[in-house]
Structure 1
């Protein structure tokens, strides 16, 4: 019996690297994602946040419009101080607003997927109880996972490249190829069949009361 092909999914890549010219890993990934988008086989939009907003003045309406169209949202960035770069954090603060992305009436992202594509300067061995980062890498992911959960997003297993500053060309090429193949084939990833959806995280009224008119001034 012939399987019905899955419809093409809409993919939004949000890349955030504060100095992309000096990046080997994220620049390669961003360039190849752009090439894939230009080919048109899969509907992909690539947004380089530091190029779009060098003054950090984020166009919230434009970002929310891009998110509405996406089935898969990709956050691609280097890990900095165990978190996301400054502009990516500002993007989260300003774009994922209460009443839109989460909280009462905030269901714009519910049912979509979130995929982290991260690089680290430290080696994989550094993310170990005996390494200088003192924890396994997964210990640094809960803020991402809970952000996804609060917005009703399904958090997909991240794609991580450790030791980005010293990675060899062959390993980097293989990593970039894996990234592009994932973008091109979503949602036909075998592991997604067994990955549960996201449980709802309701925000109580007392935690986020409706703002008074005078509070908006």
Structure 2
């Protein structure tokens, strides 16, 4: 069984509450998960595209974990997507490396969940805001999975709620793995 690759894109993971706790929980199962922190690996922003593509190819699933930034992903993750998911590798006549690979987003959002609704401040759901990721997965013929989200991260969430979200996150990823085994 190949492991699941978790791409973590947090510009300041040491100051994070949610993403840092999620990473700590993932690291408890190194036989299942490879945690790859983009900002630690590429502090200069120069991405090794071939190494990243090889890393993806040697893993069964791809999880992309990040805090929501201006209703999108952090800039290094956007660059990673632009550089790594290249023509001839991820899409195009010979680009099939993501075909049927399960891809899932794990996102922390600063505001409350009800703000991401038709009656909330932003009048869109988190899923609608992150639709470009779903479209990217469809375009590359990947198997896009429902988003895992933590809301209201800005307001110093209770440690118990953060801990529970980390446990639930790992359970969700293990279920993803089990689907392939069953």
Q: TM-score w.r.t. structure 1 length?
A: 0.79
Map 1:119-138; keep pairs closer than 5 Å.
119-138=108-127
Distance in 1, matches of 2:169 and 2:125, equals 23
Map 1:127-166; keep pairs closer than 5 Å.
127-166=116-155
Distance in 1, matches of 2:146 and 2:173, equals 14
Aligned to 1:199: none
Distance in 2, matches of 1:34 and 1:138, equals 27
Q: Residues 167-187 of structure 1: CA distance to partner in whole angstroms, max 9, x if unpaired?
A: 212211111001122334432
Aligned to 2:44: 55
Please, which runs of 5 or more residues in structure 1 have no aligned partner?
1-7, 194-217
1:71: how far off? Answer: 1.3
Structure 1 stretches of at least 4 aligned residues deviating more than 6 Å after TM superposition: none
Q: Residues 94-144 of structure 1: CA distance to partner in whole angstroms, max 9, x if unpaired?
A: 000011100110011111100100010011111122322122222212101
Map 1:42-191; keep pairs closer than 5 Å.
42=32, 44-166=33-155, 167-189=157-179
Map 1:188-207; keep pairs closer than 5 Å.
188-189=178-179
Q: Is the 8 A contact 1:78 1:118 kept in 2?
A: yes
Aligned-residue Cα RMSD (Å) equals 1.8
Distance in 2, matches of 1:181 and 1:9, equals 17
Q: Is the 8 A contact 1:36 1:180 kept in 2?
A: no
Please, which runs of 5 or more residues in structure 2 have no aligned partner?
none
Q: Is the 8 A contact 1:70 1:112 kept in 2?
A: no
